[in-house]
Amino acid sequence: MINNLLKSSSTLLTRSLQGTTSRYYGAACCGGKKPIIPAAPSEIELDDFLKIDLRVAKVIQAEHVDGAKKLLKLTLDVGIKQTPPAPTPSEPLPSSESTSTVVEATTEATTNATATTTEPIRDIRTVFSGIKAYYSPEQLTGKNVIYISNLKPRTMKFGVSQGMVLCASDEKGEKVLYTTTDDGSVPGMKVT
């Protein structure tokens, strides 16, 4: 029974790949594996492209992953963290308090809110990238790269990868290069 199930799965996979060409998908996005991926469509709609949020990210730390043959762990600064506006207080102050107490409380709340909003909070993400054969951690630290910021996090054996860094590669996967940006780009800039 198991053999029949495996045979039918193999047949379905073969049928689904007929008429497509397979290609190397790139080390950074698949942990160094070389999966069979159908060729990309010749054209896509603009709306499909706009679903991908590409941003500039700065590699603030790159390190080897214990037990991983092909992965590097990248810590990325992806810009200022986008936080929702602070909720307004829903409970009014008791009416028995004096006006001066209300003014003092309002001044203190405003001062505290100002103190916390003047320091921007950096959005730091972790990405695991199958690029170890092509780069050392020292070569990546400090580089600005292109990052897919709205990719659903993926739980891996070594941790959670919170996005993907784009690479360019030849068809054989023998030459892989991170896509980088010109001088003057800063983390969080949108790539269009």
Amino acid at 114: T
Q: What is the pLDDT of residue 37?
A: 55
Domains in the chain, CATH or no CATH each: 22-82+120-191 (2.40.50.140)
CA 79/CA 145 separation, integer angstroms: 12
CA 163/CA 128 separation, integer angstroms: 9
CA 126/CA 122 separation, integer angstroms: 13
Q: What is the pLDDT of residue 119?
A: 81
Q: Which of 125, 139, 148, 143 is nearest to 183 (CA)?
A: 143
Q: What is the pLDDT of residue 174?
A: 83
For residue range 4-28, list pLDDT tens digits in order.
333 333 333 333 333 433 343 444 4
Residue 154: count of CB within 10 angstroms of its CB? 14
CA 111/CA 19 separation, integer angstroms: 65
For residue range 161-177, list pLDDT tens digits in order.
999 999 998 888 788 89
Dihedral class, residue 5 (left if φ above 0, else alpha if ψ from -120 to 50, else beta)? alpha
CA 183/CA 190 separation, integer angstroms: 15
Amino acid at 135: Y
CA 87/CA 84 separation, integer angstroms: 9
Q: What letter would DSSP give residue 180?
A: B
Cα–Cα distances in Å, from 65 out to 136, 137, 178? 12, 11, 19
Q: What residue ranges of the chain have pLDDT lower than 50?
A: 1-32, 36, 98-103, 105-107, 110, 114-115
Query: Residue 98: helix, strand or coil by DSSP?
Result: coil
